[in-house]
Amino acid sequence: MIAVRGYEGERVAVLGLGRSGMSAARALRAGGAEVLPWDDGEAARDKAAAEGFAPVDLTRQGALQGCAALILSPGIPHLYPAPNRVVAAAWAAGVPVDNDIGLFFRSLATGDWDIYDTPPKVIAVTGSNGKSTTAALIHHLLTEAGRASQLAGNIGRGVLDIDPPGEGGVVVLELSSYQTDLARALTPDIAVFTNLSPDHLDRHGGLGGYFAAKRRLFVEGGPDRAIIGVDEDEGRYLANQMAEAPADDRLIRISAAGKLSGPGWSVFARKGFLAEWRKGRQVASLDLRAMPGLPGAHNHQNACAAYAAARCLGLAPKVIEKGLTSFQGLPHRSQLVAEAGGVRFVNDSKATNADSAARALAAFSRIRWICGGLEKEGGLGALAPHLGNVAKAYVIGREAAGFALHLGDTPHEVCTAMATAVARAAAEAQPGDTVLLAPAAASFDQYDNFERRGEDFIAEVARALDATNRAT
């Protein structure tokens, strides 16, 4: 655990007692703070009470009196579409609002670090798509190379739950826009920006606010090295702002859209090959095409980002190549779950918006596409260039018929239920086809989260293949 420093003997309120909220409460208590926890859910309050905390109703007038800070969980709105009433009360009372990420960065480094020859480092990864895979891939590369690494944040453990890193240790964080937007301290050694596409627009007041939340990690965090995807205008803008000169090698530009040029440091993927260029010359090249855990251009972008981060920490290209080859991917992210009769079954339930689904569609040909769910703001226009890869779509979700209207002339069938969609796709698939779950929508109309949706897909694939085996 990272004990929170700076609040010893102070009263600190914690709103929201999920994973990050409880982690913050424990770490604050370990640092000597008096914690005032609250959650609207009775079950969450009971869980906190079982750990010795005394819940305090923060919605009552004057509840924040004498508090040094309010620590907010990421699922609770602090500005858009409207500030939570406890947040508004904190503003009125002059109580600073922070989150567990801010507490982490203000508490991580200690005087003990002076004895280390190689102080610990923090790599923070943000972006719309690919940040989970990129963070996990960086952690994998470091672990395979024998470097001490911990994975936390929006993936793995809560940031305050990790062990204090030791000599040469690395902490790899995946950070969502909810986390970067509110944190009062953001000081990673290396910051990574993968890409940007419309998402969470209601929470950020539009696309500009969403990008601004990501941008904070760089312009307010002041990382020693910035690794920035430049396949969208926002990334190009951010890279331009971070560089002091064309050859400034504190910035590494990455791309999966084509060759990058210039005197600076760049890593890009083209036709399945990753290339590293510095000072106008190529210094390394890797073949990504046969790496099973990294299919498609979107994963090649993830590989470029992870490669760049590993290079910043001194790993050699051959060592990185070995780690990339052994990476198996993450559950629910382009996850190969079965292969039978020449048909692949791929679970990309994490493709919860149109842009991430489009990336999945671009990674395969002859797709039996399972899609649908709770549509997000931003529409489905990003899918159009890739619908030619779809042999047929099988639409799920409570509003499946409405979702199907976006598919135009693409052959499709309204299935509503996952079981029906998988059974129909498996029955109609031919050798060489890929049955792909890439919903382009949130899961909450039918499932608690995208993980449950992906697990249902995997279970139905097993059921369909078992039925096929029995029939033959």
127 annotated as a binding-site residue:
yes
130 in a labelled binding site: yes
Q: Are 49 and 76 in contact (CB under 8 A)?
A: no
Instruction: Give Cα separations from 74 to 6, 15, 63, 204 (angstroms).
Output: 22, 10, 21, 13
Q: Output the CA angle 138-144-146, nearest 5 degrees.
A: 105
Closest by alpha carbon to 106, among 10, 173, 185, 9? 185
- Under 8 Å between Cβ of 195 and 231: yes
310: tokens are 């590993």
Q: What is the largest CA-CA distance in the chain?
A: 72
Angle at CA of residue 147, ends 146 and 151, nearest 5°? 120
Residues 6+ apart with CB under 8 A from 408: 387
205 labeled part of a ligand binding site: no
> Does the annotation list 128 as a binding residue?
yes
Is 131 part of any known ligand binding site? yes
User: What are the phi and psi torsion angles at 54 (to 5°)?
Assistant: -110, 100
Distance, in Å, from the CA atom of 351 to the CA atom of 128, rounded to the nearest integer, reads 11
Q: What is the DSSP string of 391-451?
A: EEEEEESTTHHHHHGGGTTS-EEEEESHHHHHHHHHHH--TT-EEEE--SSBSTTTSSSHH
- The answer to whether the bond into 81 is cis (omega within 30° of 0) is yes
CA neighbor of 189 nearest in space, from 313, 6, 316: 313
Which residue ranges are tagged as binding site for ATP? 127-133
Which residue ranges are tagged as binding site? 127-133
